[in-house]
């Protein structure tokens, strides 16, 4: 597993906790510093940035994954309801497809958000390092 995947997995773990983005970044900074040596951090950031698609659907899913997945959850639920009440087995196909697509959209958005959080954390580390270099020493 390369450094980029490790950092994204750490960011995914941090997304599970309810806190502000600034708090998540502060908790990730020491972990990232111990995992990736500073000279390689910009290369890892570039690798993570290359993995994030720039298309409109990707941005929409990253920012509003639950809103995008909601219609598919509804299709799955209606397929389940109609399949049970009307005894029509083909309606269960809509259930499976709807739930699968909804779950896939949610997972994709989660991974995109984790990658974005990892990039922001690496940016904060870089900004702090630049500020410490520019500070005069006594």
Element (H, E) at 2: none
How far apart are the C-alpha atoms of 123 and 126, rounded to whole Å? 5
How far apart are the C-alpha atoms of 33 and 66, rounded to whole Å? 32
Angle between helices 3-15 and 91-134 (to 10 degrees): 110
- Per the structure, how many domains does the chain have? 1
How far apart are the C-alpha atoms of 6 and 91, rounded to whole Å? 41
105: containing domain: 3-134
Q: What are phi and psi of 91, to 5 degrees?
A: -70, -25
Residue 122's Cα: distance from chain center in Å?
15
* Chain segment 65-113, per-residue pLDDT in tens: 999 999 999 999 988 888 888 777 777 888 899 999 999 999 999 999 9
Cβ neighbours of residue 21 under 8 Å, at least 6 residues apart?
117, 120
Residue 137: predicted pLDDT: 65
Assign 1 a pLDDT band (cuts: 50, 70, 90): low
Residue 106: predicted pLDDT: 95
* Chain segment 15-69, per-residue pLDDT in tens: 988 989 999 999 999 999 888 888 898 899 999 999 999 899 999 999 999 999 9
């Amino acid at each position: 597993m390369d450094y980029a995947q490790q950092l994204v997995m750490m960011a995914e773990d941090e997304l599970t906790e309810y806190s502000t983005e600034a708090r998540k970044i502060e908790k990730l900074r020491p972990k990232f510093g111990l995992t990736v040596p500073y000279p390689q951090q910009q290369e890892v950031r570039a690798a993570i940035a290359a993995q994030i698609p720039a298309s409109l659907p990707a941005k929409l899913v990253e920012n509003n994954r639950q809103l995008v997945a909601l219609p598919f959850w509804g299709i799955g639920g209606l397929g389940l309801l109609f399949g049970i009440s009307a005894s029509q087995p083909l309606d269960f196909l809509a259930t499976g497809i709807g739930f699968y697509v909804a779950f896939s959209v949610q997972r994709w958005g989660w991974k995109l958000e984790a990658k974005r959080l990892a990039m922001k954390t690496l940016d904060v580390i870089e900004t702090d390092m630049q500020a410490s270099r520019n500070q005069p020493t006594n």
